[in-house]
Amino acid sequence: MKNIGIFWGSETGNTRAAAEMIGQSLGVPSSNIRNIASATLDDLAAFDVLIIGTSTWGAGELQGDWDSFFPKLNGADFSGKSVAFFGLGDQVIYADYFQDAMGILYDEFAARGAAVVGAWPDEGYEYTYSRAVRDGVFVGLALDADNQDDLTASRISTWVAQLQGAF
């Protein structure tokens, strides 16, 4: 199994909790499940596989710590790395911006050479627009702890099984 690092940014703990569930399912040591608030670009560079988690805030904006980290991605090179994304959002109140932050990070990592894995179907969600949807699928796992928390565990286990195949 390749060296996997999970980097999350979270305001109220939902993305963090999802990161821990994903990490446990994949057998990632807890020391490799990191808060982006205290991470450096070198920390990300240390892993062959990155799993990147963000919630969306404002009106379609990055979670605050990812927003602070974002300029550091300028000039980064993710060639040779597999990168998967997961996001937390609210499809009811923020139907016009559902999961946009996942799409913002996807664009940035993909532009810098990452091989993106872990696309996820958009069936079972009701939203108007998402920057995280490309060609009819989410670029990563979309979770909604506000409205569909009962689906979180099963979505994670299905996605993790899919990722294990991709790695």
Ligand X SMILES: Cc1cc2nc3c(=O)[nH]c(=O)nc-3n(C[C@H](O)[C@H](O)[C@H](O)COP(=O)(O)O)c2cc1C
* Cβ at position 99, least distance to ligand X in Å: 5
CB of 48 to ligand X, least distance (A): 26
The residue count of the chain comes to 167
Nearer to ligand X, 82 or 99 (CB): 99
Query: Which one, 90 or 108, has the nearer CB to ligand X?
Result: 90
Q: Of the two residues 56 and 82, which places its CB atom closer to ligand X in the complex? A: 56
For residue 71, CA distances in Å to 40, 67, 104 come to 11, 8, 13
Give the number of other CB atoms < 10 A from CB of residue 124. Answer: 10
Complex with ligand X: residue 128 or 157, whichever CB lies closer: 128
Minimum distance, C-beta of residue 155 to ligand X, in the bound complex (Å): 13
In terms of Cβ atoms closer than 10 Å to its own Cβ (0-12, 13-18, 19+), residue 49 is: buried
C-beta separation of 123 from 89 below 8 A: no
**CA R_g for the chain:** 14
Q: Which two tokens stand for residue 128?
A: 């108007």
Please tell me what DSSP assigns to residue 92. Answer: T
Q: Could you tell me the smallest distance in angstroms from the CB atom of residue 127 to ligand X?
A: 8
Q: Which residues bind ligand X (CB under 6 A)?
A: 10-15, 55-60, 63, 88-90, 94, 97-100, 145-146
Shortest Cβ 106–ligand X spacing (Å): 14
Q: Which residue minimizes CB distance to ligand X? A: 89
Q: Which is nearer to ligand X, 14 or 82 (CB)?
A: 14
Give the pairing of strands 4-9 and 49-57. parallel
